[in-house]
Chains A and B, each alone.
Chain A
Amino acid sequence: MPVGADGFRLQNVNENKEKNKLEWVTGPSQDDYNRTFVINDEDHTLGNALKHIIMQNPDVEFCGYTVPHPMERKIHVRVQTHSTPALQVLHKALKDLKKLNEEIREKIEVEVQRYKDTHPPSDAEAD
C-alpha cells in the first residue's frame, strides 16, 4: 500500500506495474566501473552472499549491499572496481555463487548417501 508522508494513500502509484528484477541507479557516482545495482524482490539472503562473492574478486575495490527500507523488498549492491565493468563483475559473481551452490549440493548428496549407507535405518523407524 503506497502511503505518502501525510499518512494518506498516494494516488498515482501503480502497484501492479511489472518490476524489473535488476536495475541500476543513475547519477554522479555512477559510471561503467562504479555502479549501484538495484535488485528487486530480494533481501539479505541473496545480498550478503552476493557481496561476499564479489569481495573475493581481486579487481574489486569496494563492494557493499544495503536494504534501503525494510518495508520495500529490494537491495542496493554497490560495486567499485579498478578496471573491470561493474556489470561484468556482477555477472561473474553470480556465476561463481551458482557454481558454489552446485558444489555444496553435490557434497550434501554424497554425504547423505554415505550416511544412509553406514547407518541403515532400524526397523522400528516409522515411515
Chain B
Amino acid sequence: MEVRRLKVEEFQLVHEMDAKNVKEPESSASASPSGRIEIISMDPLEMELDFIGYDIAIINAYRRITLAEVATMAIEKVYMYNNTSIVQDEVLAHRLGLVPLKVDPRFFEFRNKDETEWGAQDSVKYELNVRCTKNQEASTNETNPDVLYVHRKGIGSDHAKFQPGMCWYRMLPEIELTREVEGKQADLLQTCFSPGVIDIVTTANGKRIAKIKDARNDSCSRNVFQHDSIKDAVKLTRKTDHIIFYIESHSALKSYEILEEAVKIMSTKCDMLLGEIEKHLETPMET
C-alpha cells in the first residue's frame, strides 16, 4: 500500500535555508553553515552581540531558553511569625518573591517534588526582622513583620520571578537609495530616519546629497513612505542572516553567563534526545 505523503510544493517557504537554497557546497565534515559572533558591547548587566550567518531558528531557541529555562533563585516559601502591617501576608510574600537575589543558581540543584525537608543543596534561608521607625506615633503606619523565608531554584516557565533577565533580537536593517536625493529632500529624508542613519554630504559641485551612514541604528519606523516626494527613493529591507541580539540581566547571573547557560541547556536537550534515539535504534518501539 502506498504511504500517504505530504506534497512539499504546497508548504515550501521561499527563504528557508533548506537543502535547495543553501548555496555553498556541503563538505563531508560539516553540513551546517558556520558564522561569526561579534560582541558590540558587554557589561555584567547588559550585552549586545551580533550573530552573523546563523539561522534565526537557533537564535530564537536561545531567546526562548533564556526566558523560560535558565534557572535562578527566588524566594518561594515565606513563614510569617508576626505581621502587624497594612500589607497582607500573601501580598508581602508575593512581593518578596519578585525581589532579585544575588545568589548564584549554579551552586544549587533543583528540588525534588517529593522532598519535604529543605536542605543546603537546594535552598537558602533568610530571616527578616523589620520594624518601621519612620513615624512611631501613628499606629496605622506601623510595619512589623518577622518573617522567615526560604528560596529555591526555579525556571522562568514555572513563575516569571525566576526569569534571569530580558532577551530580544532584531535583524539588521538595510537601507538602499535608489536615486540621488539632494537639497530639501535630503533634509526631509534625514528626519524620516533615526538620528545617525542618514548623513548629508556636500559634493564637489556644491550639491547637498544624502548618504547612508549607518543603517544599524534605524528603528525601522518607515516614516519615509509618508512623504510622496521621497518614498520612491529608498528601499528598506532587512538582512536575514545578521541578527543583533540583546541580553539584559536582573539576577545574579551576568549577561554573558546567561547566554552561556542557554547554550548549555540547548546542548542538554539534544543530548537527552540523542540518548533516547540510541535506545530505540537497538529496540524498536511504537505508540
Check A100–B273 contact: CB distance below 8 A. Answer: no
Q: Does A22 contact B (CB under 8 A)?
A: yes
Residues of A within 8 A of B1 (CB): 28
User: CB < 8 Å: which of B37, B60, B272 contacts A104?
Assistant: B37
Cα–Cα distance between A108 and B19 once the two chains are bound (Å)? 27
Check A104–B54 contact: CB distance below 8 A. Answer: yes
Residues of B within 8 A of A44 (CB): 60, 64
Q: A111-B39, A111-B49 are in contact. Are A49 and B8 (CB under 8 A)?
A: no
Check A45–B6 contact: CB distance below 8 A. Answer: no
Check B266–A101 contact: CB distance below 8 A. Answer: yes
Residues of A within 8 A of B37 (CB): 104, 107-108, 111
Residues of A within 8 A of B30 (CB): 96, 99
Residues of A within 8 A of B22 (CB): 56
Residues of B within 8 A of A116 (CB): 42
User: CB < 8 Å: which of B18, B32, B34, B281 contacts A91?
Assistant: B281
Check A20–B285 contact: CB distance below 8 A. Answer: yes
Q: Does A10 contact B (CB under 8 A)?
A: no
Residues of A within 8 A of B259 (CB): 108
What per-residue 1/0 map shows which CB atoms of A12-54 lie under 8 Å from chain B?
A: 0000000011111110111101100011001111101101110
Q: Does A72 contact B (CB under 8 A)?
A: no
Q: Does B286 contact A (CB under 8 A)?
A: yes
* Smallest CB separation, A49 vs chain B (Å): 4
Q: Does B228 contact A (CB under 8 A)?
A: no
* Smallest CB separation, B102 vs chain A (Å): 9
Residues of B within 8 A of A119 (CB): 42
Residues of B within 8 A of A96 (CB): 30-32
Check A52–B55 contact: CB distance below 8 A. Answer: yes
Cα–Cα distance between A104 and B62 once the two chains are bound (Å)? 11
Q: Does A67 contact B (CB under 8 A)?
A: no
Check B32–A56 contact: CB distance below 8 A. Answer: yes
Check A52–B57 contact: CB distance below 8 A. Answer: yes
Cα–Cα distance between A9 and B181 once the two chains are bound (Å)? 68
Q: A44-B64, A58-B19, A78-B6 are in contact. Are A38 and B287 (CB under 8 A)?
A: yes
Check A53–B32 contact: CB distance below 8 A. Answer: yes
Check A91–B277 contact: CB distance below 8 A. Answer: yes
In the complex, what residue of chain A is closest to B16 when comparing beta carbons? A55
In the complex, what residue of chain A is closest to B264 when comparing beta carbons? A105
Cα–Cα distance between A44 and B60 once the two chains are bound (Å)? 9
Cα–Cα distance between A45 and B65 once the two chains are bound (Å)? 7
Q: A62-B11, A87-B277 are in contact. Are A104 and B263 (CB under 8 A)?
A: yes
Check A22–B3 contact: CB distance below 8 A. Answer: no
Check B274–A94 contact: CB distance below 8 A. Answer: yes
* Smallest CB separation, B168 vs chain A (Å): 15
Check B42–A48 contact: CB distance below 8 A. Answer: no
> Which A residues lie at the B interface, using CB under 8 A?
20-26, 28-31, 33-34, 38-39, 42-46, 48-49, 51-53, 55-58, 60-62, 64, 78, 80, 87, 90-91, 94-105, 107-109, 111-112, 114-116, 119, 125
